[in-house]
């Protein structure tokens, strides 16, 4: 059976003042954003997330003071303005759903107004920092003890290694004109073509391989369907973006040596500098039960952890979906 550790409510974290980093040096906003993207590309963020530069003062904008916070509230905004911040990096995006109006009516609208009035940019990395190799999930894993870890849901590269999303391959025998076929295919937009000689059943053939986009694939298939010989020999492959090493959502951590649940809880509390965490014990589990495998996910990670086998789950509420899976 399983156990889960749930981090204490996020409001408790907010009693700590956000970190403010200031120096005599300065950096252009665009250059700073490029540096932030080098640390963790925004392409790593989940598709549902709202990350990146959320509020931008009119350019040019120079950043002397970068203000860091977990959540940007009105009180935090007031502190940032007192610190004369030029850019606020808020881990959680203060703007998540589209704003239809920018008025003084709601606190999120007021954040935008105050930021623009005071020429303060707002940037949020959120799940991009969760997925990064040296991001939040990797940092959480360091508190477990000596272990090996891997992403539960690995991230994929932002681009395909080659042009297009599909590969189409077919053969042209010696009775046909390969050059004519290649020329016709090249006239289709978003198509790259290569060819090479091959021999099948003692017959010389030209193997044609082309990469194309989803839109171009329809035109390619229409062209090949005009010749029964081409169409019957056609293979269509869907290309996958390559997985990124040590990058992705969640971490599945296998300890070098098992420890008791009580010991693991103390390690987690020490690493997070917390006096308390919430623990849900699985049926038949005690504080002396051994822990060898830990599945973790920053934030509310029930969907990430779903279906993952582990002795301990480390996340925030709600864990109900995981519990139902193991009943």
Q: Which of 39, 87, 1, 19 is nearest to 261 (CA)?
A: 1
Q: Which of 78, 58, 57, 59 is nearest to 67 (CA)?
A: 78
92 is in an annotated binding site: yes
Q: Is the pLDDT of residue 321 over 70?
A: no
Q: What is the mean pLDDT of residues 24-39?
A: 90
Least confident of 150-154, 296-300, 307-311: 296-300
> Given this model, what pLDDT does residue 300 score?
83
Least confident of 37-46, 56-65, 231-240, 290-299: 231-240
Q: What is the mean pLDDT of residues 302-317?
A: 92
Mean of all residue pLDDT scores within the chain: 88
* Predicted confidence (pLDDT) per residue in 186-224, tens digit: 999 989 999 988 887 777 888 999 999 999 999 999 998
Residue 76 CA neighbour count, 13 Å, CB half = 27
101 is in an annotated binding site: no
> Given this model, what pLDDT does residue 15 score?
32
Structural domains of the chain in order of their starting residue, each with its CATH number: 11-129 (3.40.1390.30), 131-157+245-325 (3.40.1390.30), 166-238 (3.30.70.260)
**How far apart are the C-alpha atoms of 160 and 192, rounded to whole Å?**
14
> Given this model, what pLDDT does residue 78 score?
97
Q: Is the pLDDT of residue 23 over 90?
A: no
Structure confidence at residue 176 as a pLDDT band (50, 70, 90): confident
């Amino acid at each position: 059976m399983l156990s889960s550790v749930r981090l204490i409510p996020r409001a408790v974290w907010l009693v700590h003042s956000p970190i403010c980093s200031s120096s005599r040096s300065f950096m252009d906003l665009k250059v700073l954003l490029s540096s932030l993207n080098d640390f963790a590309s925004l392409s790593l963020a989940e598709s549902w997330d709202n990350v990146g530069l959320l509020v931008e003062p009119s350019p040019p904008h120079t950043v002397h003071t970068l203000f860091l916070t977990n959540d940007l509230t009105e009180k935090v905004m007031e502190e940032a303005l007192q610190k004369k911040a030029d850019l606020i990096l808020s881990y959680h995006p203060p703007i998540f759903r589209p704003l239809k109006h920018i008025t003084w009516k709601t606190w999120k609208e007021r954040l935008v107004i105050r930021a623009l009035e005071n020429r303060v940019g707002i940037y949020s990395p959120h799940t991009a920092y969760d997925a990064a190799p040296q991001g939040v999930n990797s940092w959480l894993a360091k508190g477990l003890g000596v272990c090996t870890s891997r992403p539960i849901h690995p991230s994929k590269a932002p681009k395909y290694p080659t042009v297009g999303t599909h590969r189409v391959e077919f053969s042209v025998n010696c009775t046909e004109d390969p050059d004519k076929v290649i020329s016709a295919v090249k006239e289709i937009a978003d198509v790259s073509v290569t060819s090479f000689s091959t021999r099948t059943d003692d017959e010389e053939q030209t193997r044609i391989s082309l990469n194309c986009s989803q839109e171009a694939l329809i035109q390619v298939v229409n062209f090949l369907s005009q010749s029964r010989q081409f169409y019957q020999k056609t293979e269509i492959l869907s290309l996958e973006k390559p997985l990124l090493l040590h990058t992705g959502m969640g971490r599945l951590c296998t300890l070098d040596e098992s420890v008791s649940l009580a010991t693991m809880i103390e390690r987690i509390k020490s690493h997070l500098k917390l006096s308390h965490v919430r623990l849900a014990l699985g049926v038949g589990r005690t504080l002396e039960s051994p822990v060898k495998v830990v599945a973790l996910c920053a934030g509310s990670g029930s969907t990430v952890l779903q279906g993952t086998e582990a002795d301990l789950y480390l996340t925030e509420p709600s864990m109900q979906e995981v519990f139902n899976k193991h009943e």
